[in-house]
Amino acid sequence: MEMYDEEKSNDDVQEQSLADKFLKLFSELEECTEEGQKQKILELNKLIDEMNNEEFRYVFTKELFNKIDQMIEEDKLTMGNAILLLKHMGYCNALLNIKYFGFLYSSLKRRFREMIDDEEKKKEKRNEKLLTELCECYLLLNIGASSQLISVCVPCLLKAALKKDENEEAQKEVEMALLALSCIFSHYKIEKDLYLNEIKEIIQHHQGHRNLSRLAYQSAWSFLVFRYCKGFSSEIVIVNELHFIRDATKELEELSKSVDWKKKKEEMGETERKAMDIISRWIRSIYYYLKSCHLWNEEYVGLISRIVDVLRASRDNHSEIGEECIQSFEAAAENRAVKLDALLKSGAIDAALEEIPKSTLNERMTSEILRFFHLISMRFKGKGEVKTTEEERKELKRKIFKKMEEEGFEDIIISFYEKFRYIFANHNVFINL
């Protein structure tokens, strides 16, 4: 494992202390009884809740997962207790959208893959609860899975997610199953429209009964949008039957109200931190939708307006969410099915212009904003807007150019010329309206 430098700041020392505390407690598991292990794992799970991305990557290495595998092999850790730890680890990993590869290259991954295959082959004698938990761990911790394994995990997890019991424990299981499903992205090969009816039923039942947690509901949408948005027939279901744009707009608005954006994330309570994580997940789903969609209606303006609100609210203390907001504007600007007029009416162009002077110390944010305007520029250089006359196109171009002029876009470019010249050269950005 990577070692910490003695010269690091106080914050880094605290991070080291948390990581070391976890590893020390983990090392004591081998000496415990099964019940003692369970109690220590509950303590470990509390430590996981406090970790940030860097601490997560530091602790959950290939070596740690190999150690868990070895302990299972030598009967020093029960499978039930291993799953208790791994499910919580996977839950936090998926919620925080952490990218790490410890599990991917571990012997524990091979063990879980073989166990899933073996359990699936048992058919009517299979242990459904065990199979569900194995699938959850595998998808929540793994960056990539074979099509064969996906074909086992998806129906298993959808079956768990379709449960209508409203008690807290059952709904937690539903949330975990849907969160695991949301980790399956579009490049996984699943037959077109397969499982569409099941996820549609889950979303419609919630719309009528409000039975899912906010995270579970967002996860259901993530699975649906990532899987089916590129198909025109399924997009009609997403927009016209299930009302994705309406619900995404409403969820963003309600979640944003539950967050004190003036606080840094580490200063927030658990409820606020979770709300922020769900907001981030919604914006990533919306990004993918805006990038892939074919349909258009006026609800887009309201949806993008809510993202503008999040961008402005997150400006001071949560730049990572701000970057995701700008990326969603880019997706809209790049997709000719989305009218550029929506970016003007929603305030997206104003918000992006406001960000430029504030983001000059953040190269990534600046490059995202400049790319946004580059994409608008390319739209005007193309064949024009969908269902837009040449006269309307010219008028829209005039309005956008005037807005940029009013906000001093050209003056900003000149005043930060050296930095922008570097960004233009290194991020392939060119602005010419």
pLDDT in tens, 51-86: 988 899 899 999 999 999 999 999 999 999 999 999
> What average pLDDT does range 224-253 have in this prediction?
89
Predicted confidence at residue 414, as pLDDT, reads 54
Rounded Cα distance, 130 and 82, in Å: 12
The overall average pLDDT reported for the chain is 86
Predicted confidence at residue 421, as pLDDT, reads 58
Q: CB–CB of 276/259 below 8 Å? A: yes
Predicted confidence at residue 12, as pLDDT, reads 45
Predicted confidence at residue 389, as pLDDT, reads 73
Rounded Cα distance, 231 and 254, in Å: 29
Rounded Cα distance, 185 and 136, in Å: 15
Q: CB–CB of 127/168 below 8 Å? A: no
Q: Which of 92-96, 231-235, 361-365: highest mean pLDDT?
A: 92-96
Q: Is the pLDDT score of 191 beyond 70?
A: no
Q: CB–CB of 329/384 below 8 Å? A: no
Q: Is the pLDDT score of 2 beyond 50?
A: no
pLDDT-above-70 percentage for the chain: 85
- pLDDT interval class at 125 (50, 70, 90): confident
Cβ atoms within 10 Å, residue 251 = 18
Q: Which residue has the higher pLDDT, 374 or 83?
A: 83
Strand ranges in 138-286 using DSSP code E only, listed in sequence order: none
Predicted confidence at residue 390, as pLDDT, reads 78
Rounded Cα distance, 230 and 288, in Å: 10
Q: Which residue has the higher pLDDT, 355 or 247?
A: 247
Q: Is the pLDDT score of 10 beyond 50?
A: no
> What average pLDDT does range 411-416 have in this prediction?
57
Predicted confidence at residue 188, as pLDDT, reads 58
Q: What is the pTM of this model?
A: 0.88
Unique residue bearing structure tokens 């303006």: 301
Predicted confidence at residue 8, as pLDDT, reads 42
Q: Is the pLDDT score of 5 beyond 50?
A: no
Q: Which residue has the higher pLDDT, 402 or 175?
A: 175
Predicted confidence at residue 29, as pLDDT, reads 96
Predicted confidence at residue 3, as pLDDT, reads 36
State pLDDT tens for residues 88-108: 999 999 998 887 789 999 999
Cβ atoms within 10 Å, residue 311 = 25
- pLDDT interval class at 424 (50, 70, 90): low
Contacts 24+ apart (CB under 8 A), 126-135: 128/156, 128/159, 130/79, 131/156, 132/156, 132/157, 132/159, 132/160, 132/173, 132/177, 133/83, 133/87, 134/83, 135/180
State pLDDT tens for residues 290-314: 998 988 889 999 999 999 999 999 9
Predicted confidence at residue 27, as pLDDT, reads 95
> What average pLDDT does range 113-137 have in this prediction?
93
Q: Is the pLDDT score of 387 beyond 90?
A: no
Q: CB–CB of 244/221 below 8 Å? A: yes
Predicted confidence at residue 377, as pLDDT, reads 83
State pLDDT tens for residues 139-166: 999 877 777 888 899 999 999 999 888 7
Q: Is the pLDDT score of 420 beyond 60?
A: no
Predicted confidence at residue 419, as pLDDT, reads 54
Predicted confidence at residue 14, as pLDDT, reads 45
Q: Which residue has the higher pLDDT, 105 or 14?
A: 105
- pLDDT interval class at 357 (50, 70, 90): confident
Q: CB–CB of 37/11 below 8 Å? A: no
Q: Which residues contact 119 (CB under 8 A, 6 or more apart)?
A: 126, 127, 130, 131, 134
Instruction: Give the DSSP H/E element, type plus range, for residue 36.
Output: helix 34-50
